[in-house]
Chains A and B, each alone.
Chain A
């Protein structure tokens, strides 16, 4: 059980349902959008855990719910043994020193009326570091770590390019010396040449400071490059979690397989066989019965329409939520049901 000791974050059956209001006065709850619907995973200390999925699959909501920027509907979040879901607001606030977030849009996530130094320093003030000299020292330290010069600190966000702004966002996250950083699409808004600068910076910081990342992204090649283990989400559920090379070499869940095959090949002559999924992602307010992927799945069996599969370890470091790998599913294959 040596692995257990290294678990930094453990998420158990996390759910976030948003009510859809309706009625004449808008006070009746008509239904719930199940943005995150029973997600469980573990993040080891020092690793980068990637969450991939298409828009609306609940990956960003998962990230925000862990930080309790959104209140979880159900489930437990253990961070270093403490259940974050049970903390009150002020306890949670102090704990956010250890868990920080970097947002996608470096244009919208920085206050345009604050100077860069004030933006980066603000978390320290919030966390009660009263000593001005100490704050100044930390400010210059993180600025140096992310590659901002002291002269740049007196400027305003609009004076910076996208890549530079993302550095500011990272500096702000780093200043409270967090253990875990949730990076929600940190490079999606950036051009490729800048994207690689930011990814390299994040990797350097991880080595230097021993950070743990949860890296949320829709870009499969970036995730493969940057993460150690990857979870694939579909419609609010984790459908597959695996070490990255296992996942990319041998995806087990039919959705993961289709998703990976849809990635444009990096060379015009290396064309690969595509699995083109039919149809669109169903609405999370009214997900299909059984396995939520079954209406689009090429290997759908009878059992898939009725029974919901659960995420279970199939091989070492490889868990999948699909009836192709469950007892019920194997029985139905053996019974000669159409696949």
Chain B
């Protein structure tokens, strides 16, 4: 069996409002195989970024983990102190963010920022750290790396900055890389460069990636397996080809259908009526039911994740019978 490097177990993340817990991420479980790219897709407010931040112990003030656990190898994140987190972050699990403009420190050189990561995790000399920084810049394909080492972030373009972010994230050879919308702020031609680079490096280092995005095109390009999130819950989990060929959950279907297709000409796009409900004001039962065209009485109860014949999992009552058929045969 393939090794699972990361396991998330019934993770609940939320805020406290007048002592009342409001869940933003409502008990999600998933795993990540070694060397695989797992996509987490969903629209704004579905909890995908909070999920990724809780994997890094970087939840913003006021937001906390209410329940559940994350396991990385034999480490349990729930017992972690601040000090433990510092040792793990960057060393075992690393992250790249959406905004390469604002996630680099403008007053330090590129070299210093990569060296900072190396020096805080490894007992090496400054000279060795600088050599590592140079090596990393070469790995991510930055032209004239010797010079860039002593340059400041403002001297680089968006695509180059994202390459630097990747260099920093990978400088201590982490087991898991979390990429939160890594190409959203970039132009398509630069996006293509960065995605290509991430694939290359993944093959070279046999790294596992959690890729968080709202862009189904990026998912199709990069991922092996996909989790679709809606309103803080996982509604579908499946292999990437299966997801595009045979989307199951009504939300996933709606999402894929509302994408304009370059190869096909339609006068109108199909769309999902209504808007995503706000946390704290979630509908009872299935959270997608108010926007779902296939909703029926049963949807007043929260559906569990049903396993389907193709091995994908769907949080929808429509797939209940299909499962029992499979069991019966």
Interface residues of chain A, those whose CB is within 8 Å of chain B, are 54-55, 161, 163-164, 191-197, 199-200, 203, 218, 220-222, 224-226, 245, 248, 258-259, 261-269, 271, 274, 276-277, 279-281
* Pair B159/A224 contact, Cβ less than 8 Å: no
CB-CB < 8 A to B261: which residues of A? 221, 225, 266
CB-CB < 8 A to A248: which residues of B? 262
* Pair A220/B271 contact, Cβ less than 8 Å: no
CB-CB < 8 A to A280: which residues of B? 157, 159-160, 190
* Pair B160/A269 contact, Cβ less than 8 Å: no
CB-CB < 8 A to B266: which residues of A? 225
Interface segment among B103-111, B251-259, B314-322: the answer is: B251-259
Question: Shortest beta-carbon distance, B196 to chain A, in Å?
Answer: 6
* Pair A264/B262 contact, Cβ less than 8 Å: no
Closest to B244 in A: A267
B window 235-285: CB within 8 A of A: 240-241, 244-245, 254-255, 258-263, 265-273, 275-276
Question: Shortest beta-carbon distance, B228 to chain A, in Å?
Answer: 12
CB-CB < 8 A to A277: which residues of B? 189, 192-193
* Pair B217/A263 contact, Cβ less than 8 Å: yes
* Pair B268/A200 contact, Cβ less than 8 Å: yes
* Pair B192/A274 contact, Cβ less than 8 Å: yes
* Apart from A196-B258, A259-B189, A263-B217: 5 A-B pairs, beta carbons within 8 A: A191-B43, A192-B216, A192-B259, A196-B260, A276-B189
Decide yes or no: A221 and B262 within 8 Å by CB, A192-B214, A193-B272 being known contacts.
yes
Tell me, yes or no, whether B29 is within 8 Å of chain A by CB.
Answer: no
Distance between Cα atoms of A262 and B192 in the complex (Å): 6
* Pair B270/A268 contact, Cβ less than 8 Å: no
Question: Shortest beta-carbon distance, A152 to chain B, in Å?
Answer: 13
From A54, A220, A268, A281, B240 is in contact (CB under 8 Å) with A268
Most central of B187, B189, B240, B270 by chain A CB within 10 Å? B189
CB-CB < 8 A to A199: which residues of B? 260, 269
CB-CB < 8 A to A259: which residues of B? 188-189
Decide yes or no: A221 and B187 within 8 Å by CB, A264-B218, A266-B216, A280-B159 being known contacts.
no
Question: Shortest beta-carbon distance, B203 to chain A, in Å?
Answer: 16
CB-CB < 8 A to B262: which residues of A? 220-221, 224, 248, 263, 266
* Pair A196/B269 contact, Cβ less than 8 Å: yes
14 A-B pairs (CB sep. < 8 Å): A192-B255, A196-B271, A199-B260, A218-B188, A221-B217, A221-B260, A225-B266, A259-B189, A263-B217, A264-B221, A268-B220, A268-B244, A269-B241, A276-B196
* Pair B220/A266 contact, Cβ less than 8 Å: yes
Tell me, yes or no, whether B324 is within 8 Å of chain A by CB.
Answer: no
Distance between Cα atoms of A331 and B292 in the complex (Å): 62
* Pair A54/B268 contact, Cβ less than 8 Å: no
From A161, A225, A265, A268, B269 is in contact (CB under 8 Å) with A225
Tell me, yes or no, whether B300 is within 8 Å of chain A by CB.
Answer: no
* Pair B272/A54 contact, Cβ less than 8 Å: no
CB-CB < 8 A to A222: which residues of B? 260
Question: Shortest beta-carbon distance, B103 to chain A, in Å?
Answer: 18
CB-CB < 8 A to A161: which residues of B? 275
Binary interface encoding of chain B residues 175-199 relative to chain A, with 1 for a CB under 8 A from any of its CBs, else 0: 0000000000001111111011000
The 7 residue pairs across chains A and B that have the minimum distance between CB atoms: A264-B217, A225-B260, A54-B187, A196-B269, A191-B43, A196-B271, A196-B258
Closest to A277 in B: B189
Question: Shortest beta-carbon distance, A161 to chain B, in Å?
Answer: 5
* Pair B188/A268 contact, Cβ less than 8 Å: no
* Pair B189/A262 contact, Cβ less than 8 Å: yes
Distance between Cα atoms of A194 and B271 in the complex (Å): 7
* Pair B221/A265 contact, Cβ less than 8 Å: yes
Question: Shortest beta-carbon distance, B82 to chain A, in Å?
Answer: 34
Closest to A245 in B: B265
CB-CB < 8 A to B255: which residues of A? 192-193
CB-CB < 8 A to B272: which residues of A? 193, 196
* Pair A267/B220 contact, Cβ less than 8 Å: yes
From A191, A192, A197, A220, B188 is in contact (CB under 8 Å) with A220
* Pair B271/A221 contact, Cβ less than 8 Å: no
Question: Shortest beta-carbon distance, B40 to chain A, in Å?
Answer: 15
Distance between Cα atoms of A259 and B160 in the complex (Å): 18
* Pair A218/B263 contact, Cβ less than 8 Å: no
Tell me, yes or no, whether B67 is within 8 Å of chain A by CB.
Answer: no
Tell me, yes or no, whether B215 is within 8 Å of chain A by CB.
Answer: yes
Tell me, yes or no, whether B44 is within 8 Å of chain A by CB.
Answer: yes
Question: Shortest beta-carbon distance, A146 to chain B, in Å?
Answer: 15
Closest to A261 in B: B192
Distance between Cα atoms of A61 and B265 in the complex (Å): 30
* Pair A197/B271 contact, Cβ less than 8 Å: yes
Most central of A55, A191, A261, A276 by chain B CB within 10 Å? A191
Decide yes or no: A224 and B157 within 8 Å by CB, A54-B188, A218-B188 being known contacts.
no
Question: Shortest beta-carbon distance, A183 to chain B, in Å?
Answer: 15
Distance between Cα atoms of A197 and B258 in the complex (Å): 9
Decide yes or no: A265 and B188 within 8 Å by CB, A161-B275, A192-B259, A193-B254 being known contacts.
no
* Pair A193/B221 contact, Cβ less than 8 Å: no
CB-CB < 8 A to A194: which residues of B? 43, 271, 275
Closest to A163 in B: B275
* Pair B241/A262 contact, Cβ less than 8 Å: no
Decide yes or no: A203 and B268 within 8 Å by CB, A192-B43, A218-B187, A267-B220 being known contacts.
yes
